[in-house]
Amino acid sequence: MRVPMIAGNWKMNTTIREATALVSEMCPLLNQIENVDKVICPPFISLAVVKELIRGSSVKLGAQNVYFEEEGAYTGEISPLMLANLCEFVIIGHSERRQYFNETGEMVNKKILAALRAGLKPILCIGERLEENEAGRTEEIVTEQLRSSLAGVDYPRSLIIAYEPVWAIGTGKAATGQQANETIGFIRGKIAKLYSDEIAQDMRLLYGGSVTADNIAEFVQQPEIDGALVGGASLKADQFLSIVKQTSEIRSRLSEES
């Protein structure tokens, strides 16, 4: 059975001081919740501080982006080698990066390859835009995103994929559990074709887009959905804790039943 994961993407929010306060409030409580991987992804500048704050706990750390070169004259960028000693996970290909920073499929692919080379575990984000969804092109779009992102990746053992329909991100208009389950099941099928059944069955596939404490249950009770990438609600300690707690309870109950 796959261990579910809840990852909080803080985006461009929190000063170091605010990040310290939020982690100090959440960490002791998150630490007590079992059977779910709890990952927080603060801004780069807070990674080192947060790493110290979560030391010895079961809370894990991720970055929100990475560049694909190891070092050199790339002003303002952060390399996989810099992150490798700092955090375990890195979000790659988030739709906000594709949309506002012109990240292409080719760049996402280079970042995935570089992150894996450095021993980081990528959380690859894919998902269709509203007009693509309305035109019934969801499967075509995620297939193409998978193909381009994973070119040259021989063995994606540590990869996590977050299916995040762009129209659901930050809009308060989440997909339904059933919609998300269908697309995520489709993605798992594609992974099986690209790699193997075993890899597809082991891989954790998350849903992201307007996840809150009020709707998380709808997602994590679905058989294909292994957790969530949470944006806005991950900045509120009580919301994030409730999302993690519900995930733990629902998944524990489902695994007992099966």
* Least distance between ligand PGA and beta carbon 167 (Å): 10
Stretch that binds ligand PGA, among 27-35, 225-233, 236-244, 247-255 (CB under 6 A): 225-233
Residue nearest to ligand PGA as judged by C-beta position: 231
Residue type, 67: Y
Exposure of 162 in the CB half-sphere (CA atoms within 13 A): 30
Residue 229 binds ligand PGA (CB under 6 A): yes
**Cα–Cα dist 258/1, whole Å:** 10
What character string, x for contact with ligand PGA (CB under 6 A) and - otherwise, covers 39-78? ----------------------------------------
163-182 exposure pattern, b = at least 16 Cβ within 10 A, e = fewer:
bbbbbbbeeeebbebebbbb
Within 192-211, the residues that bind ligand PGA by CB under 6 A are 208-211
Closest CA to 64 of 229, 226, 238: 229
- Distance between CA atoms of residues 161 and 204, nearest Å: 7
Interface with ligand PGA includes 232 (CB under 6 A)?
yes
CB 129 within 8 A of CB 166: yes
Tell me, yes or no, if 69 is annotated catalytic. Answer: no
CB of 232 to ligand PGA, least distance (A): 4
Q: Which of 96, 164, 218, 224 is catalytic?
A: 164
DSSP 32-57: T--SSEEEEE--GGGHHHHHHHHTTS
CB of 88 to ligand PGA, least distance (A): 18
Phi first, then psi, for residue 40 (nearest 5°) are -120, 140
Tell how far CA 194 is from the center of its chain: 21
x/- binding map, residues 156-195, to ligand PGA, per CB under 6 A?
--------x----xx-------------------------
Instruction: For the CB of residue 119, give the shortest distance to ligand PGA in the complex, in Å.
Output: 23
| Active-site residue, 94 included | yes
Which residues are annotated as catalytic?
94, 164
Binding site for ligand PGA (CB under 6 A): 9, 164, 169-170, 208-211, 229-233
